[in-house]
Amino acid sequence: MDKIELNEMLFYGYHGVLPEETKIGQRFNVSLSLSIDLSKAGKSDNLQDTVNYAEVYTLCRKIVEGEPKKLVEAVAESICEQVLATFPLIQECTIKLVKPDPPIPGYYKSVSIVLTRGRI
């Protein structure tokens, strides 16, 4: 299956369990890998035969910068659900959501989750 990938989209949101996360907010780094048959678009050179990744970006931004959730798992699940619901050509959505600066004592680069959701 072909892929459209949106890599390291940066957003600022207010998700988290701790009060300072929902009050101060923090950065989120989101990458998507979208499984889609691109053969028709490759031959037609027509945007209607693919997915407009600017629209995917806008949807992700709306979710991450929108209503706060306690868990990044819930944020990622919402993105996958809405991507699949909005863009019927996409067969599968894999998301990597990185929280670069969670309030955890210690030394580490980041915390991230990866989800894959597809059509039933």
pLDDT single digits (tens) 55-110? 999 999 999 999 999 999 999 999 999 999 999 999 999 999 999 988 888 888 88
Domain total for the chain?
Answer: 1
Helix (H) or strand (E) holding 5: strand 3-13
Q: Which domain holds residue 66?
A: 3-118
Catalytic residue at 70? no
Q: Is 60 strand, coil or helix?
A: helix
Query: What gap in Å lies between CA 15 and CA 40, rounded to an integer?
Result: 39
pLDDT of residue 79: 98
**Domain CATH code at residue 46:** 3.30.1130.10
Catalytic annotation, pick one of 3, 43, 99, 109: 99
pLDDT of residue 108: 86
